[in-house]
Structure 1
């Protein structure tokens, strides 16, 4: 029974609560509220296991996402806020260089967005297949930035996705509790994602690189 599982083994709940804390930080402060790199990167790290649960179709996303979240976690030891992190990269003229903290932040933000769309689609899609929700999430968030070879590999991997029941079992959730936590993540991650977008757009960096 999912209800008897310790909260530490319920990643969806931990993810939703961590992003709710971030959203509260943004909502409770003045219009120039800032997110600290530490809490942000910690919340993002909790999302990492989700990509692993989706199997081979999202293996590229898991490897890419995990390495870039790790970079942000390390960065939090020396840089306070996301705003400061981007501004330092701009001063060093390395924003768009591979491996820059700002470029890594953009990639991590896409991972958060993909999970948000995936959850939205799971909630509104009947049946036990994750193929349509996962395909929609990939097409909306990742596909525009990927070349033909990766898109083809992901399309092939979609046939190896777990079923919704298998995914929920891996996450120690039943259908009702999973829906609640997915809705909580959608609500909490949306202002966080918009905040990161605003950091890029206000500096005229764009979001499509």
Structure 2
């Protein structure tokens, strides 16, 4: 069993996305679904560190990633996943693998935005970075009730120091390096998924679903 001091969720997250970024750094790249699902699952400790107010978000995201992990047992790559849904005419269905991919993509984007705003914001509060990230990425896809619930939840967020302690990060400087690493590495991965949707004429159809 790994020593607790060796468990570093931010390090694991940044390293996993560096590997994904290296994979998609090619015009003919095709990202393996199993690798993508595993890397995406490493977001869960971060969501968990935000406290009980985001328990529902944690459960929903865990279920979505689990669905993609199960799908990876029979589906090799993201391209095969999307093409399979298109062929079966199920890409627009809420339960489709393509919709699950979209949901994971949005979560990766909101984490990326929260890290960006956290690094750009002085002080100990996470409320402003989290609120800005949510407003930027997810709010346009949510109704009024969900937006109000999330806004209320931001008041219960831990401080930056409390979050880093839950993530086993004793050194804020190294945590910032890892956040920036995820910001940089996730960009080409997210761009890859966007290109995949656009190339199949899907993004304009499901990006608001």
1:99-121 CA-partner distances (Å, limit 9, x unpaired): 11000000000000000000001
Q: Displacement, 1:5?
A: 6.0
Q: In the alignment, what sits opposite 1:191?
A: 188
Check conservation: 2:5, 2:168, Cα contact below 8 A. Answer: no
Counterpart-to-counterpart distance in 2, 1:182 and 1:65: 20
Q: Displacement, 1:71?
A: 0.6
Q: Displacement, 1:61?
A: 2.6
Counterpart-to-counterpart distance in 2, 1:88 and 1:45: 23
Q: Find 1:111's aligned residue among 91, 107, 130.
A: 107
**Structural mapping, 1:65-76, within 5 Å:** 65-76=61-72
Alpha carbons of structure 1 residues 10 and 140: separation in structure 2 relative to 1, 3 Å: same
Q: In the alignment, what sits opposite 2:156?
A: 160
Counterpart-to-counterpart distance in 1, 2:135 and 2:54: 12
1:50-77 CA-partner distances (Å, limit 9, x unpaired): 1111124433432221111001111111
1:166-196 CA-partner distances (Å, limit 9, x unpaired): 0010111121010010010001001001111
Q: In the alignment, what sits opposite 1:86?
A: 82
Q: In the alignment, what sits opposite 1:124?
A: 120
Unaligned segments of structure 2, at least 5 residues:
none
Is it true that 1:204 corresponds to 2:198 in the alignment?
Answer: no
Q: In the alignment, what sits opposite 1:151?
A: 147
Q: Displacement, 1:202?
A: 1.2
Q: In the alignment, what sits opposite 1:178?
A: 175
SS at match of 2:198: helix
Counterpart-to-counterpart distance in 2, 1:16 and 1:200: 24
Q: In the alignment, what sits opposite 2:43?
A: 47
Is it true that 1:19 corresponds to 2:17 in the alignment?
Answer: yes
Check conservation: 2:51, 2:158, Cα contact below 8 A. Answer: yes
Q: Displacement, 1:201?
A: 1.2
Counterpart-to-counterpart distance in 1, 2:12 and 2:98: 26
Q: Displacement, 1:150?
A: 0.8
SS at match of 1:23: helix
Counterpart-to-counterpart distance in 2, 1:67 and 1:115: 18
Count of residue pairs the alignment pairs up = 203
Counterpart-to-counterpart distance in 2, 1:163 and 1:141: 22
Counterpart-to-counterpart distance in 2, 1:195 and 1:161: 32
What is the CA RMSD across the aligned residues, in angstroms?
A: 1.3
